[in-house]
Structure 1
């Protein structure tokens, strides 16, 4: 096999964030689980999450209120059965995290709950303003200590292994038996097989020039599932967070929703006045993200601004430092004291609301393949994700996928022999500049043409450029040995193509998809489902 050892486990999980590790810990009670991670084990979006996790825990709150808030934010595109399922399982997910040792903030003997945009109640449990890092740490600790969990970082996945008895380099649709993955250190490609595979690979945020997503959010799972034959849904629904720090040196530092939830005001720096009253006079700064992001975008364009201000300096300094210690410290290092000064902010891509289509058990169209978290379209988020429902989705669907695998375990066959990765017809590249150039180009035109406000003409231009770059990259992919950069570029282009195709298919404005050519919202909400 020339270093390409075939490695088999009971269950393979691709991704080491909240969804992947939640599933791993449930499965490990009876199965041997392998978790693959691109780069480091804590390099995904979970570790970056600031705000918290939404759950009905307050006496004055109800499941129905959380469901309604989620559906309103999602502009009616949500599937209600999914929303009910996630909301009703949220308190149990929080209890499991408490049992794992996540040190949630408490007040008077109870979990401290904060409020964020789109929520009608305080229902966000958090660990200061760095909830994701605390959750990641607890999950990784538990996974490392479990004898049935193997954690393997430094693996960039290339394509799913499909087929009944064997799999070649280019696979058609069929049962999934695992994945081909590049060992980033050695440069060799391994075949990892399993009875069941779970995608927990995160979103495709890095398809945009400005994004709060980590470097590895290149749509890998979505692109691999699509190439293997799975449907994807609502890829046009890319969420832009309203408040990313405007700083020419620090391009992806998020200012959490909770700053507005705790009293932060959006100010036009030229007029010195709040402006949300002109866009959403009832909810103001606590309107859903799509509304606030479009409002900021409109103010910037109308007044020729580089940014707007997010100001919480009217609150007591001890309050601000106590609620946002990490943000306060980060901004101080950049010369901004948020207790006395406003924060310059702009919208940036933040979350992929569409993805691989799954059911309530996390099952995809392909036998043997499950998915959970940001790489999926479960029906929870609809046309816009409600704040702090993202980590929640990871916990609920990571658990659901694992439990369905355990229930159906006797129906899963052992993986067959598969072909090792064939590198006999490729050579080392001497034109790495091609990858760098294409990477930069795609992110720039996606931001300009497929951003917060869209038109048919812009989408047409984007589609044309995607086709040109895809032809170039596919030729490059067929002749040179794979690298992480090449694999990611290939997946970025595939994700971009799915986003643009979905956007061109939706002839209305709804939630995160706003187009000047179809400003109306249709009476009936329909998913955009793409079939390979």
Structure 2
């Protein structure tokens, strides 16, 4: 099936390049996936240039509290981890990719330790393990209690600096350079100074690796940092790559509720708190997850978020409560020091009172179509981490599989590029397509509308209204001066437009995607929605069968 659904920006009004440089590989992004890719490439003898629009280590990885999922416990095995991932993924996982991830996860954890990661250890000196939602065994490796992502980022950042890898900080990735036949030959970038784009130039390279993270900022409230604006997805789409499963946005069920109208990055209360025994309750103290799922408070995230959303619709309340008081103040403070401090800063005592929580946008299960080696549908373009859609996450990510996937994919991508890569970049073709960008003033309305109509639950009427609003947002013309805010707003508009179109097309409820007007999971929709962009900016969508289907029970 192929249909032209809607239209987005096909080309940006780029600043002229004032310089050129050559390297073997350009890596965009400095979260866990980008850092590991760069380190592994350098160890393989490749010249690497890393580009990040913020400072080194900025991104969602550093905020991750839970940890890394890996089979390390004596009562665990690979088949159980695979099964848990497939069940959480609700029928859209690629089983081959999942099995590869599970098989290589322990080695990724071991490599982190070799690089100096200070993981939390048990009495025998092995990585301490805990449990999170959807897992049938304790298999979450963590660090600093609830600072796992920060420790992973610190470790890999130190390894990158030790290898002398070139990093262009506060630098925007604007457009992927390609030859006339579509092969990648580099990236146009510009330095960001007070929001302006200055000193634009071209980095020539036969391989560009996108590790730019997700697009949580398409919503008004998210656990993601401010930079999670979907830049990589928009870059790849404009370069001819396919993207898929954009409607599958995971909402974390326990984000600290700090009042109506809260915007921007919100305080996440890790699923590991429930893994240690905390429970979700309503205003009367009644546990809301009992009877909702066999795993109760440790059900997969889509189930917990949907249950909370249904409770809030039925009661008219703004939030539920997470009760960890029975765990003891000493244990809570020691096991979750960061969360305890964040709650205290907001005026709540996690150890002595139930704290208010509600779902907020957290993780993009969809993204640029890629395999676990990072290959996309465009020669020379690779994607790893949250920006990629490998089939591992399916319709709903199993907790703590994300950093694990980023590290596994990064190592595999680097291994591939150490042996299979063109020796020179080639000559970029003249860029085509009518240039334009979204007016940055449209960003608040975009985020508010996406939150209202494409949140934990959606319906056709709201999604249709969202699509109409997005289509009417003001754009600048080809002669406008591009700045950093316009780049981000244009990327968010691209993401929101695809999200609305895909969610409207998928007339069922599956994983993260919940339709009030189509509550059942339908077998004919056990397919991926794949999008591509033509030169005029029209988005074309087709369905694609999931490559391998497992006999896992789908929890609707």
- What TM-score do the two structures reach when normalised by structure 1? 0.92
Map of 1:43 onto structure 2: 58
Tell me the SS of whatever aligns to 1:16: coil
Once the two structures are TM-superposed, the CA of residue 158 in structure 1 deviates from its matched residue by 1.4
Q: Distance in 1 between matches of 2:529 and 2:305?
A: 23
Once the two structures are TM-superposed, the CA of residue 465 in structure 1 deviates from its matched residue by 1.1
Q: Distance in 2 between matches of 1:360 and 1:387?
A: 19
Q: Is the alpha carbon distance of 1:510 and 1:482 closer, same or farther for their aligned partners in structure 2, counting shifts above 3 Å?
A: same
- Answering whether residue 528 of structure 2 is matched by residue 527 of structure 1, we say yes
User: 126, 129, 148: which is aligned to 2:142?
Assistant: 126
Tell me the SS of whatever aligns to 1:61: coil
User: 298, 303, 308: which is aligned to 1:291?
Assistant: 303
Q: Is the 8 A contact 2:179 2:428 kept in 1?
A: no
Once the two structures are TM-superposed, the CA of residue 360 in structure 1 deviates from its matched residue by 3.0
User: 43, 48, 67: which is aligned to 1:33?
Assistant: 48
Map of 1:168 onto structure 2: none
Map of 1:93 onto structure 2: 108
Map of 1:138 onto structure 2: 155
Tell me the SS of whatever aligns to 1:481: coil
Tell me the SS of whatever aligns to 2:382: strand
Once the two structures are TM-superposed, the CA of residue 279 in structure 1 deviates from its matched residue by 2.1
- Answering whether residue 228 of structure 2 is matched by residue 217 of structure 1, we say yes
Once the two structures are TM-superposed, the CA of residue 223 in structure 1 deviates from its matched residue by 0.7
Once the two structures are TM-superposed, the CA of residue 233 in structure 1 deviates from its matched residue by 0.8
Q: Is the alpha carbon distance of 1:359 and 1:334 closer, same or farther for their aligned partners in structure 2, counting shifts above 3 Å?
A: closer
Deviations 1:219-263 (A, max 9, x none): 111111111111111111000000111114785110001011111
Map of 1:516 onto structure 2: 516
Map of 1:481 onto structure 2: 481
User: 162, 183, 192: which is aligned to 2:191?
Assistant: 183
Q: Is the alpha carbon distance of 1:133 and 1:477 closer, same or farther for their aligned partners in structure 2, counting shifts above 3 Å?
A: farther
Q: Is the 8 A contact 1:182 1:483 kept in 2?
A: no
Map of 1:258 onto structure 2: 272
- Answering whether residue 459 of structure 2 is matched by residue 448 of structure 1, we say no
Q: Distance in 2 between matches of 1:531 and 1:287?
A: 34
- Answering whether residue 383 of structure 2 is matched by residue 368 of structure 1, we say no
Q: Is the alpha carbon distance of 1:447 and 1:327 closer, same or farther for their aligned partners in structure 2, counting shifts above 3 Å?
A: same
Map of 2:18 onto structure 1: 4
Once the two structures are TM-superposed, the CA of residue 317 in structure 1 deviates from its matched residue by 1.6
Deviations 1:84-135 (A, max 9, x none): 0001000000000000111000111221101000000000000110100111
- Answering whether residue 425 of structure 2 is matched by residue 415 of structure 1, we say yes
What does 1:132-171 align with in structure 2 at a 5 Å threshold?
132-147=149-164, 149-164=165-180
Deviations 1:355-410 (A, max 9, x none): 1001232100101011101011100010000000000110011111111111213x
- Answering whether residue 88 of structure 2 is matched by residue 73 of structure 1, we say yes
Once the two structures are TM-superposed, the CA of residue 335 in structure 1 deviates from its matched residue by 2.4
Tell me the SS of whatever aligns to 1:276: coil
Tell me the SS of whatever aligns to 2:478: helix
Map of 1:206 onto structure 2: 217
Q: Distance in 2 between matches of 1:221 and 1:276?
A: 36
Tell me the SS of whatever aligns to 2:395: coil
Once the two structures are TM-superposed, the CA of residue 530 in structure 1 deviates from its matched residue by 1.6
What does 1:347-426 align with in structure 2 at a 5 Å threshold?
347-409=359-421, 412-418=422-428
Q: Distance in 2 between matches of 1:2 and 1:64?
A: 53
Once the two structures are TM-superposed, the CA of residue 529 in structure 1 deviates from its matched residue by 1.4
Q: Distance in 1 between matches of 2:17 and 2:366?
A: 37
Q: Distance in 2 between matches of 1:268 and 1:339?
A: 17
Map of 2:546 onto structure 1: none
User: 435, 447, 450: which is aligned to 2:440?
Assistant: 435
Q: Is the 8 A contact 1:190 1:420 kept in 2?
A: no
Q: Distance in 1 between matches of 2:33 and 2:17?
A: 30
Q: Is the 8 A contact 1:233 1:377 kept in 2?
A: yes
Map of 2:38 onto structure 1: 24
- Answering whether residue 353 of structure 2 is matched by residue 341 of structure 1, we say yes
Once the two structures are TM-superposed, the CA of residue 25 in structure 1 deviates from its matched residue by 1.0
Tell me the SS of whatever aligns to 1:414: coil
Deviations 1:242-301 (A, max 9, x none): 0111114785110001011111110101x2211112422x21100000010011111112
Q: Is the 8 A contact 1:144 1:151 kept in 2?
A: no
- Answering whether residue 499 of structure 2 is matched by residue 499 of structure 1, we say yes
Once the two structures are TM-superposed, the CA of residue 3 in structure 1 deviates from its matched residue by 7.3
Tell me how large the CA RMSD over aligned residues is: 2.0
Tell me the SS of whatever aligns to 1:106: coil
Q: Distance in 2 between matches of 1:179 and 1:72?
A: 39
Tell me the SS of whatever aligns to 1:336: coil
Q: Distance in 2 between matches of 1:184 and 1:531?
A: 29
Q: Distance in 2 between matches of 1:332 and 1:467?
A: 42
Shifted more, 371-380 versus 516-525: the winner is: 516-525
Once the two structures are TM-superposed, the CA of residue 466 in structure 1 deviates from its matched residue by 1.2
Q: Is the alpha carbon distance of 1:254 and 1:32 closer, same or farther for their aligned partners in structure 2, counting shifts above 3 Å?
A: same
Map of 1:13 onto structure 2: 27
Q: Distance in 1 between matches of 2:279 and 2:324?
A: 6
Tell me the SS of whatever aligns to 1:184: strand
| Unaligned ranges ≥5, structure 1 | 165-172
Map of 1:276 onto structure 2: 289
Q: Is the 8 A contact 1:243 1:255 kept in 2?
A: yes
Map of 1:170 onto structure 2: none
Deviations 1:187-241 (A, max 9, x none): 2322112111100010111101111111011111111111111111111100000
Q: Distance in 1 between matches of 2:382 and 2:151?
A: 26
Q: Distance in 2 between matches of 1:28 and 1:56?
A: 28
Bigger relative contact order, structure 1 or 2 (CA pairs below 8 A, ≥6 apart)? 2
Once the two structures are TM-superposed, the CA of residue 16 in structure 1 deviates from its matched residue by 0.9
